[in-house]
Amino acid sequence: MGNLSNYSKLVKFEHTIFAMPFALIGFFFALEQNGASISFKLLGLVMLCMIFARNAAMGFNRYLDRKIDKLNPRTAVREIPSGILSPKSVLFFVILNSILFVVATWFINSLCFYLSPVALFVILFYSFTKRFTPLCHFVLSLGLAIAPVGAYLAVAGKFEWLPVVTGFIVFFWVSGFDIIYALQDEEFDKELKLKSIPTLFGKKHALNLSKLLHLFTAISVVLVAILTPANWVHLIGSVVFIGLLFYQHTLVKHNDLSKVNIAFFTTNGIASVIYGLFVITGLFV
């Protein structure tokens, strides 16, 4: 079956850092907007939902792409193609985390429980999409954009515009940086007839679209600041987030992809954490 560290590497557990701060933002927005007091039990359930959902999504992606990953020199070292974990054990891991996700939502509220299959469908369906549409990046970002909305619903039990606009931040941000990440596999994807924005438009135009998406991200950040309304702490976090957003585009060029990992992992991880810390802290200042 493999030990826990192998499964952690399989799903790159440390990359939970991308969406978790936005889930926490949605949670604390709901507390502030609805005048509710914090429940650490509910906060724990929200964080567990994030972990279980992401584990299921990443595990399923690795399971479904195992044959493709084996052919790609960049991904051949992953746990399934390298033989560290068996496909059956990974599929069991996916099923287990999917069940735990649904069970966790049952302990939150009925709305989250009823919507949990919808959320699962979106995050699992993403793994199929690069086989037939270059819009795969947007399905991935939609799955992560659910995080702040779901966390808000966990507290408030109703839809509001603030978490939806916060979801827009995640949607445009993730689709933009996932396009940057996909630049690495443009030639490989073309050979296997896999779809992506880089295979459709080429590296240069794909990077331009990524910049446009990150411009929309910045606009969404400003809209959240207006809806909150933001204080100086929130605004500092917003400025830093937007700055890092565009800084990554100075690192990656269509003819030089040597710093893709710095742009994708380091810069976006730091941006997410800083934005989350400042926005949440701003609610208490």
Express each pLDDT in 107-161 by its tens digit.
999 999 999 999 999 999 999 999 999 999 999 999 999 999 999 999 999 999 9
pLDDT band at 11 (very low <50, low <70, confident <90, very high): confident
- Can you give the CATH number for the domain in which 99 is found? 1.10.357.140
What local confidence, expressed as pLDDT, does residue 261 receive?
81
The answer to whether position 205 is within a domain reads: yes
Considering the entire predicted model, what is its pTM?
A: 0.95
First to last CA, the chain: 48
| Mean pLDDT of the region 67-95 | 95
Q: Tell me: pLDDT of 13 over 80.
A: no
pLDDT-derived band of residue 2, with 50, 70 and 90 as boundaries?
Answer: low
Domain-located, residue 1: no
Kindly report the length of the chain.
285
Integer CA distances (angstroms), 124 to 57, 90, 155, 231, in order: 5, 14, 25, 38
- Answer whether 203's CB lies under 8 Å from 190's CB: no
Using the predicted structure, report yes or no on whether residue 185 has a pLDDT greater than 80. yes
158: phi > 0 → left, psi -120 to 50 → alpha, else beta; which? beta
- Residue, of 256 and 274, whose pLDDT is higher: 274
Domain-located, residue 2: no
* Residue 41 reports pLDDT greater than 70: yes
For residue 129, tell me if it sits in a domain.
Answer: yes
- For residue 264, what pLDDT band results from cuts at 50, 70 and 90? confident
> Considering the domain boundaries, does residue 109 fall inside one?
yes
> What domain range is 20 assigned to?
8-282
Residue 255: the pLDDT is 84
With a pLDDT cut of 70, the percent of the chain lying above it is 99
Q: Specify the pLDDT at position 280.
A: 97
What pLDDT shows up at residue 258?
85
Whether omega before 229 lies within 30 degrees of 0, making that bond cis, reads yes
Tally of domains within the chain: 1
pLDDT on residue 5: 87
Domain membership flag for residue 3: no
Tell me whether residue 70 is in a domain.
yes
Residue 167 has pLDDT above 90, yes or no: yes
**Residue 187 pLDDT grade (very low, low, confident, very high; cuts 50, 70, 90):** very high
User: Does residue 127 belong to any structural domain of this protein?
Assistant: yes
3-state secondary structure of 77: coil
pLDDT at 15: 74
| pLDDT score for 263 | 77
Confidence category of residue 260, pLDDT binned at 50, 70, 90: confident
CA distances from 1 to 7, 33, 70, 91, 160 (A): 9, 45, 20, 11, 43
Residue 1 has pLDDT above 60, yes or no: no
Dist. CA 122–CA 143, nearest whole Å: 6
Average pLDDT of the chain, as a whole number: 94
